[in-house]
Every structure is written in structure tokens, then in C-alpha cells.
């Protein structure tokens, strides 16, 4: 049952991602048409290939940034709890300052 749920969850996740990627494509296509209408020569300043590259790069960077934030919050939690336990108030300030 767990394997079936895992496969189902992965399939739903991929389908949702691709649905949102298609919606994002449609949104960018409308924006591209708008840019073309206000440009002086009637052409878009960015190609479809460039838009695909930039959107793919941003979709790839988002999970990496999320992992970095998870690691930061983990370290902040460990340092904060240790500082509270050992009454090292300067460490509390360090956590708060680095979080800000």
C-alpha cells in the first residue's frame, strides 16, 4: 500500500508541476505579446528559447534555496536551544541577528 501511495503521490506531483509549467508558459506568452505591441519594431525583446531557459533555471533554483533555508533553520534551532540551555545570551543574539 505504501509503494502504491508513493507512486501515486509522485505521479500527481509531476502532473501538477507540468500543469503549472503550462500555465506559466501561457502567462509568459501573453506578456510577450504585450511587450511586442509596445516595442518600437513590433518584435519581442526576448525569445521563447530564452524564456524557457530562464524559467527552467528558476524552477531548478527554487528547491536548492528551500534546502538552504531548511538547513539554516535547523542550525538556528540547534544553536538557539543550546544557548538557552547554557545561558549563553550572546549566542541568542547571534541567532536573531543572523536570522534578521
pLDDT at 4 > cutoff 90? yes
pLDDT at 7 > cutoff 90? yes
Query: CA-to-CA distance for 75 and 78, rounded, in angstroms?
Result: 5
Say if CB 28 and CB 51 are below 8 A apart.
yes
Q: What is the pTM of this model?
A: 0.60
Residue ranges per structural domain of the chain: 1-46, 62-100
pLDDT at 5 > cutoff 90? yes
Q: What share of the chain is helix, strand, coil (3-state, %, to 5)?
A: 85, 0, 15
pLDDT at 67 > cutoff 90? no
Amino acid at each position: 500500500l505504501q509503494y502504491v501511495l508513493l507512486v501515486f503521490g509522485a505521479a500527481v506531483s509531476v502532473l501538477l508541476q507540468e500543469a503549472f509549467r503550462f500555465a506559466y508558459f501561457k502567462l509568459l506568452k501573453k506578456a510577450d505579446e504585450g511587450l511586442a505591441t509596445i516595442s518600437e519594431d513590433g518584435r519581442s525583446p526576448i525569445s521563447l528559447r530564452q524564456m524557457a531557459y530562464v524559467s527552467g533555471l528558476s524552477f531548478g533554483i527554487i528547491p536548492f534555496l528551500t534546502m538552504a533555508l531548511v538547513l539554516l533553520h535547523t542550525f538556528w534551532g540547534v544553536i538557539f536551544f543550546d544557548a538557552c540551555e547554557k545561558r549563553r545570551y550572546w549566542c541568542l543574539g547571534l541567532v536573531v541577528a543572523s536570522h534578521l
